[in-house]
Amino acid sequence: MQTRTLGGELAVSAIGLGCMSLSGAYGAALSLDEAAAVLCGAVDRGVTLFDTAEMYGPFLNERQLGKAFAGMRDRVVIATKFGFRLVDGSPYPQGLDSRPEHIREVVDASLLRLGTDHIDLLYQHRVDPDVPIEEVAGTVGRLIAEGKVRHFGLSEADAATIRRAHAVHRVTALQSEYSLWTRDLEAEVIPTLRELGIGLVPFSPLGRGFLTGTVPPDTIPAGDFRAGMTRFKGDAGRHNFAMVQTLAAVAAEKDATAGQIALAWVLAQGADVVPIPGTRSLARIDENVAAGRIALGADDLARIEAAIPRGAVIGGRYD
């Protein structure tokens, strides 16, 4: 696997692994042993960047990574997050909380669950309007000085917030949704990242699985959070799926899958972009890793743009 550098300072595999699905969201959570098999298999395939959060589970996902990576901590880059108020036993956050004292509480608890003495990349999971971003950046900066954290990241932040945080402490990466069917970042955020030298870590680079062409409309089972999303059902789902089928035709000419072409498109947006597709299948990890070897030329990119034009997707990111 090729490597890329986030923020000019953090070397990671060109494709990471979003770990949320291991602890639920797309069905029942995997056991610690089942999750370890997936995570260790990803390491064997060259993946080094693993994305988790205290909220995933909640709390289970970090424990899954802690068990899997015991004894191989030096081979992986772990990114986790703070920013929600969580209550043990509840799957839903009770609001936002980025108060400095809470950030420290979260980091100490995450370190214990992960079984490590440092977090490689610590994201603010969502911007907290009640806590100035300058306080957040300063708190993470002090945690970095103490050695508990290596790099500071933001998630789903706008351009102005990124600038304010970066002025206090260097931001290494922004994690936000970005793919062929979610391109909101292109107007202001990506130009800001490029200006400041901040890396982009797209989550859901495969459109929550829709861009693979294996999720026809109205087929999401109950219990999967995508089942209620407009993009996946009804007339909107049929419209969106027709575009994905066109993408699959382009992929066939390259002896690839639609998902691989969608992922290769994200990779082609710049060497500072490191997507983190999520999966609980080693076969899908193999497929995603292979996408990193697909070279898309200018003609290919133009055809893909024609297949799924910017703004053509029907339905919002969330409902």
Residue of 26, 56, 123, 178 with catalytic role: 56
Whether 225 has a pLDDT exceeding 90, the answer reads no
pLDDT band at 104 (very low <50, low <70, confident <90, very high): very high
Which of 71-85, 177-191, 259-273, 303-317 has the least mean pLDDT? Answer: 303-317
Does 79 map to a domain? yes
pLDDT score for 193: 98
Look at residues 203, 174, 179 and name the one whose alpha carbon lies nearest to residue 189.
Answer: 174
pLDDT score for 42: 98
The domain in which residue 141 lies consists of: 3-209+259-294
228-240 confidence digits (pLDDT tens): 899 999 999 999 9
56 is catalytic: yes
Domains in the chain, number: 1
User: Cα(75)–Cα(68) distance, rounded to whole angstroms?
Assistant: 12
Does 141 map to a domain? yes
Whether 317 has a pLDDT exceeding 90, the answer reads no
Does 236 map to a domain? no
Whether 137 has a pLDDT exceeding 90, the answer reads yes
- Domain of 204, CATH number, reads 3.20.20.100
User: Cα(65)–Cα(113) distance, rounded to whole angstroms?
Assistant: 8
Does 303 map to a domain? no
pLDDT band at 247 (very low <50, low <70, confident <90, very high): confident
Q: What percent of the chain has pLDDT over 70?
A: 100
Mean per-residue pLDDT, 181-189? 96
Which of 118-127, 220-229, 278-287, 308-317 has the least mean pLDDT? Answer: 220-229
Cβ pair 62, 20 in contact under 8 A:
no
Whether 226 has a pLDDT exceeding 90, the answer reads no
pLDDT score for 88: 78
Does 309 map to a domain? no
